[in-house]
Amino acid sequence: MGEASPKLTNKKNILFLIADDLGKYLGCYGVKSIKTPNIDKLASHGTKFDMAFTSTASCSASRSVIYTGLHTHENGQYGLANGRNHFATFDHVETMPEIFNSLGYRTGIIGKVHVGPESVYPWEIKEESETRDVGWVADAAEAFFMVAKETKRLFHLTVGYVDPHRDLTRSGFGNKDIHDPRIRVPEIKPKDVEVPPLLSDLSEVRTELAEYYQSICRLDIGVGLILQALERQGLADSTMVCFVSDNGPPFMNSKTTLYDAGIRLPVIIRTPNHSNPGTVNPNMISYIDFLPTLLDWAGAPGHETPSKTNSPPRLGKSFLPILESSTVLPESGWQHHVFGSHTFHEVQNYWPTRFLRTRRYKYHRNLAWRLDFPFATDIYGSLSWEGIRNTPPPVMVGSRPLKNYIWRPAEELYDLENDPQEVKNLAGEKEYEELMKELRAKLENWQLETKDLWLYRDGVSVVINEHHREAGLRIPDRFEIDVERPGNRDVESWKAPA
């Protein structure tokens, strides 16, 4: 690749760091039993978002949202890319590495990739690895920085950490066999951990949390090493650093669910000459906003919309203009809601859900609500779940009855201000009837706008049947087909919300 395109008005580098299954479990987000001085320092020099949301709490799918600016039902990465799952982003979708390649950037990814296919994600440099040796990761990143510096090319480097994902044991998080003297992880004892409200305080849970928190400490050391490498190469003053997690922690009530614990995540961004260091930004951002924001940072006009003919339009917007805001902006200045889209985790974990989150309320539309909510393999095999399921009845998962975790209704509505754990479902209550109608209509309009095949009425996809509707097909305005009264002639037909 040659020099950067002359269309670039601001020549700036990007370092994008992605933790795996982290959630907001960092010192700078208020967890006292985890020591994360390097990430905390990054936050103190930049902006920490408090209301940042991924679209889905599943690894590959969430990453694809970052890299495409599209929700998973738009980009095709419905679930995990690895192994027998083999979900992949559509060939016609435009991606972050593809765009930055066209801008002349030296693009690269080190560590966990977890999206595909390669033809759609054409990083120039790809050093894929499942290692937890964060020292190796930092060294590989420094080598990448050195080449970019020597060739005088702009760079966009993504680093996918494996930490703090579970390992293949029943309670481990990869805290063995790391011998790099730079990586000295403090011991955390089960008695000293903070048990988050999404979990029950049991010995099995504390055992796993101690291991999980140690893995987070190792991640923090890795972030410190890579930021030191950036400084050594003299590139810190020309580089935006973004630190995020793909989804929440690998425990019940979090990962693979669309509860806030799974989708409300850490986003920390440091830019050179940050004029308001230590900003805590309370405005709502979505992971579909990352690609527009990075293009805005790069000064790449004309890339607000995809250049590929069939690639869906990106609905996210750059949050660079509000990056250093420490107050909630008026509705005329910024969005106060986000949408989300989950369909699969592993291929056997089919449980499609769409959500709308406002600053106060969360509306879930569960498409396959008659199915039991599925367990991800790593969560089902965990000691924490074994401990929880063997407690005396009624079995609770944190403050949620287990039966409400497994059996969920077609619609859920939660008041996050008064019920942050999303336990009391307000759907169906007379007091919230008008709010339900409003949120349902907003969600369905978004589904229509994004051509979501999982906009269902009468048990079928409204979007896929559009040509039949135009030819006179009447689809009854009910979620599922009524097998006792299946007729469609004497019932109200579904119409797009006004």
Give yes or no for a contact between 55 and 71, defined as CB atoms under 8 angstroms apart.
yes
177 vs 250: CA distance, rounded Å: 22
Classify each residue of 8-27 as buried b or exposed e, where b means 16 or more C-beta atoms within 10 Å of its C-beta.
Answer: beeebbbbbbbbbbbbbbbb
Token pair, residue 271, equals 């830019």
User: Is 217 annotated as catalytic?
Assistant: no
> Active site residue: 28, 59, 217, 242, which one?
59
Q: Token digits for 459?
A: 């048990």
Nearest to 13 by CA among 232, 298, 275: 298
Dihedral over alpha carbons 114, 120, 126, 127 (to 10 degrees): 20
CA 465/CA 159 separation, integer angstroms: 41
- Rounded CA gap, 227 and 316, in Å? 28
Per-residue HEC secondary structure of 55-99 comes to CCCCHHHHHHHHHHCCCHHHHCCCCCCCCCCCCCCCCCCCCHHHH
Alpha-carbon distance 418 to 302, whole Å?
43
Q: Is the dihedral of CA 106, 109, 114, 118 positive or negative?
A: positive
Q: Is there a cis peptide before residue 164, judged by omega within 30 degrees of 0?
A: yes
3-state SS, residue 12: coil
- In whole angstroms, give the CA distance from residue 65 to residue 85: 18
Catalytic positions? 59
